[in-house]
Structure 1
Amino acid sequence: MTVAIIIAGGSGHRMGQDIPKQFINVYDKPVLIYTLEGFQRHPQIDAIEVVCIDGWHDILWAYAKQFNIDKLKWVVSGGNTGQESIRNGVYNLEGKVSDDDVIIIHDGIRPLVDETVLTDVIMKAKKYGNAVTSLPYNEQIFVVDDEISTVKYIPRETLRRVSTPQAYKFGKLNWAYHEAYEKEIGIYGSAYTNTMMVELGERLYFAAGSDKNIKLTTKDDLEMFKAYLKSDKDNWLK
């Protein structure tokens, strides 16, 4: 079985709106529903769990019914941090899935997840035990020396930028969150599942990514998302 955990527990203060950004309507549809539709359509996704901000659970269930998201099986409360929210989602699956099931973790405010990206993440996770969406880094990276200058750069060929979706076999994922919270490893600041895994000594495997897979953090991101929805690919592009 393949289960998607969609993280939608944030309040979205940086967007500057009155409601959480995952519930902002774009062309009469909430952002979160665009995200869920990508998983609903994918033939290898068997079930969806959403980690949702408190006070919005009933609204989410209503939206899921309205937009025919029938793969949604569980809605659980988010935590005080992103890591706590993921942990809550993982722990809720205990007794519901097997150790070899693939669990995909994805940000609810990344609504343009591509079918081919999901397919590759699932395939790599089944083969290697985990998979993280990644892309080459195309800009030059320099290391700050004294705040106004630098004498060192990092070759971009040695870098990959990663995001969600990421996928893990449930047994290892569940072990990792229990281990991390017991030993207080990889759970603070901007930590995410992938960084936590590395801090726990695990090797991560790269999967395909997409530049279209943007995270809606600011109003500019929202405008970019709207532009993607309205754009059509030129026929001559291969």
Structure 2
Amino acid sequence: MNIAVIFAGGSGLRMHTKSRPKQFLELNGKPIIIYTLELFDNHPEIDGIVVACIESWIPFLEKMIRKFEISKVVKIVPGGNSGQDSIYHGLCAAEEFAGGRDANVLIHDGVRPLITEETITDNIRKVEECGSCITCIPATETFIVKQEDNSLEIPERDNSLIARAPQSFRLKDILSSHRKAIEEGRHNFIDSCTMMSHYGYKLGTIIGPMENIKITTPTDFFVFRAMVTVHENQQIFGFR
């Protein structure tokens, strides 16, 4: 069983939107989160989708899911006080949906709508192979890591990857890590791969598309709009 957990609990402060959170901004009359949900809804190996959403926006999301005929959403849960807490709420709902069956979970940002069917498939295969999968892209610029003594470490670019999403795991493993973090009072892990690495899990990786950006700023939205236009043009002229 493969379950997608989509978290859409952010308020979008860097997008400078006042009327609605960034995940509900529309392009061509469709909210960003619906573009994201459609990718998982249309994938033949995804059995169910859980969404963690800002509580006050849940009725609107339910309306959009009906409007755009998203059929695999099995639960919408309120987000938490942090991204980590929102993901945990979604994972608990995924556990309930799995009903004791073994399951893989693909954790993804609601504002990351430019992944592909192939990326989702590669995540599933990698989790089946080694228990985890972090979608990455190659580093195209030099990283500088500042040490505690203020010295600088510069990793080799050829050995560096940038983590994106989905980040996928066996459901029982990622839930175990979240519950350890809760016991320790930790709610500040920046993402799931950081948490899993902290608790000793080895992480598998795949290379995803470069355009798999997180729509966080107005510039990101303009890139998203351009990519949607490119995809539409490719369909019109028979390239896809």
Assess same fold via TM > 0.5: yes
Q: Would you say 1:12 and 2:12 are equivalent positions?
A: yes
Q: Pick the aligned partner of 1:127 from 110, 118, 129.
A: 129
CA contact (8 A) 1:180 1:200 kept: no
| Distance in 2 of aligned mates of 1:160 and 1:201 | 19
Could you tell me which residue of structure 2 aligns to residue 167 of structure 1?
Answer: 168
CA contact (8 A) 2:126 2:204 kept: yes
Gaps of 5+ in 2: none
CA contact (8 A) 2:123 2:168 kept: yes
Q: Would you say 1:191 and 2:193 are equivalent positions?
A: no
| Distance in 2 of aligned mates of 1:103 and 1:208 | 18
| Distance in 2 of aligned mates of 1:127 and 1:142 | 33
% same residue:
35
| Distance in 1 of aligned mates of 2:139 and 2:109 | 21
Q: TM-score, normalized by length of structure 2?
A: 0.90
Cα-Cα RMSD: 2.1
Provide the secondary structure at the position in 2 that maps to 1:106: strand
In proportion to residue count, which structure has more helix? 2
| Length, aligned pairs only | 231
| CA deviation vs aligned residue, 1:155-194 (integer Å, no higher than 9, x gap) | 1122111111011111111111111111235x31x62111
| Distance in 2 of aligned mates of 1:86 and 1:160 | 23
Could you tell me which residue of structure 1 aligns to residue 208 of structure 2?
Answer: 209
| Distance in 2 of aligned mates of 1:96 and 1:137 | 37
Q: TM-score, normalized by length of structure 1?
A: 0.91
CA contact (8 A) 2:108 2:167 kept: yes
Q: How does 1:90-105 map to 2 (within 5 A)?
A: 90-97=91-98, 98=100, 100-105=102-107
Could you tell me which residue of structure 2 aligns to residue 34 of structure 1?
Answer: 35
| Distance in 2 of aligned mates of 1:41 and 1:68 | 11
CA contact (8 A) 1:49 1:72 kept: yes
Could you tell me which residue of structure 2 aligns to residue 140 of structure 1?
Answer: 142
Taking structure 1 as reference, are residues 173 and 99 closer, same or farther at Cα in structure 2, changes over 3 Å only? farther
* Matching residue's letter, 1:45: I
CA contact (8 A) 2:74 2:97 kept: no
